[in-house]
A and B are shown apart, each in its own frame.
Chain A
Amino acid sequence: MTYLPHTEEDISEMLQVIGASSLDELFSGVPEDCRMAGGLKLPGPVTEWELNDMMAALAKTMAVAPEYKVFLGAGSYHHYIPATISYLLGRSEFSTSYTPYQPEISQGTLQAVFEYQTFVSLLLGMDVANASLYDGASALAEGLLMAARVNGLKKVALSSLIHPSYRQVVRTYLQPAGFEIIELPHTPEGRTELAGLKSLEGLGAVAVQSPNFVGCMEDLAAAADLAHSTGALLVASFTEPLAFGLYRSPGSLGADICCGEGQSFGIAQSYGGPGLGMFACLKRYVRSMPGRLVGRTEDRDGKPGFVLTLATREQHIRREKATSNICTNSGLCAVTAAMYMASLGGSGLRELARLNYDKSEYLKNELRKAGFGIPFSAPTFNEFVVELPAGSQAVYHRLLDRKMVAGLPLCSFYPGMDDRYLLCVTETRTKMDMDELVSRLKADYPVA
C-alpha cells in the first residue's frame, strides 16, 4: 500500500528497539476479551485504477450539468466556479494543515481567514464575522443560542419561510435545552407575518430569512423594529449571500446577528456538503459569539501577524461553559469563499448579482406571459415560486425524462402547495434553457 512506508526490514528494526517480537505484541495493552474476533469484512483493497472506475460509475448516475438542466436552488446554488479557485485550492499548504494553533507557521491560513472575516462583515453590513461554522442551518441554531446567552430569554420566534431543514435543525439544537419555539405564519405576498410579534412576551430572538425559502425579500427593517420593541434580537438568516450584491445587507437594516450559508461563493454543491456557515454580529456581542476568531497582532519584532483570539469563549478552555461546542469548522470553505469574493471584487459581485436577478426575472416574466401563476408578489432575487395547473406531478416527471429538473416541488414542505414549484435561475442558466423550459411547460398545458 503506497500510503504505508514501512518495509519488513524497518518493522523488524523498530520492533527490536521497542523490545517486542511482533506487531501483535504491541497491543498487549488491549485485554483479550476486548479483541476483535476475525478480520475486517471489507471489500478491497482496490488499486487506484480500479477505484477510478468504481467512482466514475457511481458519479455517472448523478443528474448534473451540462447533461441536465437543473432549476433547483433552495439552499444550494449552481454558480460558476472559476479555474483560479480550484487551482489555488490545490495549494495543499492550505488543505493539509490543521486548525492554526501554531501561528508562526500558519500565517497563510490566518491571514486568509482574517480577510474572509472582513469580506463577510462588509457583505452582511455587520461589525464582526467569525471564522465559519458548519453550514447555514447550524449557524442559525447557533445564532439563536447566542441570542439567548445575550438576553437570557429562551423563547424564540421563527419565520415559517425559513428553509424547512434549517427550522428542523434549530429544533434539534434548541429543544433539549428547554427552548420555546413559535412559528410565524406568512402573508399572501410571500413574506413573514410579523403582526403577531407585538403580543409575544419574553421573546429573546426573532429569526427571519431573506431572501426567504420561497425566494422573496423580507422587510427586515420592520422585523428589526418589531423585534427590538419587544426586547428581542433580530437574527437574520440567508441561504443565498449573492443577493447582498444587489439588495441592502441585513446589517444595514437592523439585524443583530446574521447567519447563513456561503456555498454560493465558489464552493462545489457536492450533494449538499461541505457548506459554509457564515456568522456575523454586532461588536457589543462578540464575546458571546460561537466559533473561532482570527485577530491581528504583532510578533516580538513588531512585525504584523495574526492569531486565533478570544479563545476564552471556546470549548477547549471553558469546557461546559463555552459559547459553543464547535471545534472543527469549515475553514477551507471560508478560504474558498474569500478567494471567490476577491476574484469578483465589489464591481463583479454587483454585476453577477444583477445578472442572476435579471435572468430570474426573465423566466418569471416568460412564465407569467405563458399563463402560469406567480403566487407571491414580493420582490425576489434568483428564486421564485411558480404555480402550475392541477396534475403538475406528471408534467414534472415528464420534464425529468427530458433531463430537465423544473425546480423543487413544494408539496412536501407546505400544505396547500401541491402544484407550486420553487425555481432557481443563476448565471449558469442561459436564455435558451429558460425558453426551453417555458415551451415544454406550454406544450404540456396546451390550454394554459
Chain B
Amino acid sequence: MKEFAGSSGLVLNEPLLFDRGKRGRCGMSLPRRDVDHFPVDEELEGRGPDFPDLAETEVVRHYTRLSTWNFGVDTGMYPLGSCTMKYNPKTNEKQAALAGFAGAHPLLPEELSQGALKMMFELERFLAEITGMDAVSLQPAAGAQGELAGMLVFHAYHGSKGRRRSKIIVPDTAHGTNPASAALCGFSPVKVGSNDRGVLSVEAVAAAMDEDTAGIMVTNPNTLGFFEENIRGIVDIVHAKGGLVYADGANMNAVLGMVSMGDIGIDVLHLNLHKTFSTPHGGGGPGAGPLCVRKHLEPFLPTPRIVEEGGSYRLASDFPLSIGKLHAFHGNVGIMIRAYSYILSLGPELKRVSQLAVLNANYLKEKLKTILHLAYDRPCMHECVFSDKLQAPLKISTLDMVKRLIDYGFHPPTIYFPLVVPGAIMIEPTETECKEELDLFVEAFREIVKEAGENPELLHNAPWRPKVRRLDETSAARNPRLTCAGVINGERKS
C-alpha cells in the first residue's frame, strides 16, 4: 500500500479568546501620546466594548493553533469542483504587500496614484484579450457581485430600449448564485434542463425563449465539465428574440487561450480572479469578479471607469447609461494586483494552464471510472462528475466516501452538485497537481471503495483523524449559537 499524507499527530486544543485573557494585558504597541486630552461629549461617550485583554503571545499562539486545524491548498490537494483551487503563487502576495499598493489611500489625487491606475487599466486589457470581450470593469468584489452587475447590465440595456422583461433562462446546471443574482433585478428564473449529453440543446432554449425573457445565463464550460457545444445556436436564438447572453466565467480555467467568449457571441461575462487567476480564497474571500462586456454594452458598465490619455490615467464617471457604483471605491485592488502578477508571470502560456487542467481532469476521469460510477462517459474539460451509484447498494453514500477521503489527507471534492447527478462527486484537480499526486488520489479512492465493501462502518463514521468528527448541523440550525456564551444584547455577562 502506498503511503498517504493523512496521519495522526498531536493536535492542540485552544479555548475561545473570550475564555482567555486578563484585564490590563495588551497585545499591541500603541504610539506615544504627543497631545493632551480633550473633553469628550458626555452624552455620546460610551464605555467601549468588553473585549478580553490578551498578551501578544496569547494572540499569536491562539491563531497559530487554530491554523493547524485548517486544510488549505498549501496543505494538500483540494479538488473542489467548479472552485478551481489551484496553487496560489507566493510572489503575488509579495507584490500586493508592496507599501506603494498596500498603503495607498483610494481617494488620492489621480496624479499621485498612477501606478495603481495603470495596473488596473492594463489588467482590464489583459482580461479583455483573454476573454475576447471588448471592455472590462474590475469593480465587482466577487463572482456573485459580478453576476449581479451582469444582470444589472441586462436590466439597464432593456430599459434603454424602453422595454421591461420579467424572465431569465437559467439552466439546471447553473451555480446557485445565478438565480439569486437575477432575482435582485426582478427577473424570475425559468429553468431549462440539459440533454442526455449533459449540455443545453438549441431546441430547449428555443422553447423557453420569448420576448418577455431578458436573456440566458450559461455557465460555460458547465458544471458537468462539458463545453456547451450548441452555444452558437443558442446565442442566435436568444439574440433573435432581442435577448442577451450572459456567461458565468467560473469555469474559465478550462478554456484560456482556447475559446474567445466574445467571438462566440457572449454579450456579458464575469470572471473569478480567485479561481482562474490564482488569487487565494482566504477561507471564504475576498475575491474579485470582473465584468466583461462586448462593445454594445460598454456604456452600461459600472463607474468610475479608468481612462488612458497620452500615457496617463484617470477615473471617469460621466457615463449616463452606467448601472452605477457597486463598491465603495474601485473594487478589490489587492486581489487585482495578484491576478495581474499571475498573468504577467504566465503570459501567452496561460493556454498551457488550461491544457494541463483539462489533461489532469481527463486523466483522473479515466483512472477513477473503473472504481466509481461516471455520470457521463465522454471527454470532459476541467472537471468530471462521478456519483455513488455503485456504492449505494452497500448503503455507502457520497458523503461517507468523501469524509473518508479526509483521513487519507485529501480535501473532499464538491458533492451533491450539480443537482442533475444524484449523489454527485464533482472533481476539479486543476493544473497545479502533479501526476504522482493524482495517482495517490486515485489510490485513496480505490482503498475507500474497498473499505466500503469490507468495513462500511469505517466510512459511515469517517473522518476519524481530524480534530473533530462529523458535526451536528441539525441542532446548530435549530438552536443557533452565533456568539460566545454569555454575550447577550451585545454585552458580556459573566
Contacts and interface: CB of A to CB of B under 8 A. Distances in A.
Given A35-B258, A111-B16, A328-B142, A4 B432 contact: yes
Contacts of A330: 141, 282, 284-286
Given A52-B94, A63-B108, 6 more contacts: A26-B379, A58-B118, A95-B281, A145-B184, A268-B97, A427-B31
A86 B103 CA distance: 13
A361 to B, nearest CB: 4
B181 to A, nearest CB: 4
A319 B189 contact: yes
In the A-B complex, the 6 residue pairs with the smallest Cβ-Cβ separation, listed nearest first, are A272-B329, A44-B347, A59-B100, A272-B106, A331-B284, A332-B282
Given A251-B490, A269-B102, A1 B333 contact: no
Secondary structure at the B interface, as helix, strand, loop or mixed, is loop
A359 B35 contact: yes
Which of A48, A101, A297, A329 has the most chain B CB atoms closer than 10 A to its own CB? A297
Interface string B31-51: 101111110110011101111
B410 to A, nearest CB: 10
Interface string A387-414: 0000000000000100001001000000
Nearest to A348: B26
Interface in B379-402: 379-381
Interface string B288-302: 000000000000001
Contact of A348 (B53, B63, B179): B53
Interface stretch (A196-204, A349-357, A439-447): A349-357
Contacts of A17: 363, 366-367
Interface stretch (A114-122, A180-188, A223-231, A368-376): A114-122
B50 A346 contact: yes
Contacts of B179: 315, 319-320
Contacts of A259: none
Contacts of B115: 57-62
Given A58-B119, A103-B471, A339-B63, A3 B48 contact: no
Given A270-B104, A319-B179, A346 B284 contact: no
Interface in B231-253: 231-232
Contact of A43 (B113, B344, B403): B344
Contacts of B80: 98, 101
A415 interface: no
Interface in A151-207: 163, 165-166, 168-169, 171-173, 176-178
Nearest to B60: A84
Contact of A115 (B16, B25, B287): B16
B186 A178 contact: yes
17 contacts: A17-B367, A42-B129, A44-B347, A91-B67, A99-B285, A105-B463, A108-B68, A247-B46, A269-B106, A273-B286, A274-B332, A320-B179, A320-B183, A340-B28, A343-B59, A346-B48, A430-B31
**Interface size for chain A: under 10, 10 to 19, 20 to 34, or 35 or more residues?**
35 or more
Contacts of A208: none
A99 B283 contact: yes
A169 B326 contact: yes
Contact of A244 (B46, B72, B274, B347): B46
B176 A345 contact: no
Interface string A315-345: 1111111101111111111010011111111
Contact of A11 (B63, B260, B359, B366): B359
Interface stretch (B200-208, B451-459, B475-483): B475-483
A278 interface: no
A94 B50 CA distance: 26
Given A17-B367, A59-B99, A88-B63, A33 B327 contact: no
B346 interface: yes
A64 interface: yes
Nearest to B302: A172
B379 A28 contact: yes
B91 interface: yes
B30 interface: yes
B29 A82 contact: yes
B215 to A, nearest CB: 15
Contact of B482 (A128, A217, A427): A128
Contacts of A382: none
B284 A121 contact: no
Contact of A26 (B74, B184, B350, B358): B358
Interface in A426-444: 427-428, 430-432
A109 interface: yes
Nearest to A92: B74
Interface string B80-113: 1001011111010011111111111111110111
A163 B329 CA distance: 11
Interface in A301-325: 301, 303, 305-307, 309-312, 314-322, 324-325
Contact of B492 (A80, A107, A122, A350): A122
B471 A104 contact: yes
A379 B281 contact: no
Contact of A108 (B67, B113, B282): B67
A293 B476 CA distance: 11
B367 to A, nearest CB: 7
Given A70-B108, A94-B67, A328 B258 contact: no
A406 B225 CA distance: 54
B256 interface: yes
Given A34-B264, A355-B33, A310 B477 contact: yes
Contacts of A448: none
A95 B88 contact: yes
Interface in B152-211: 152, 155, 176-177, 179-186, 188-189
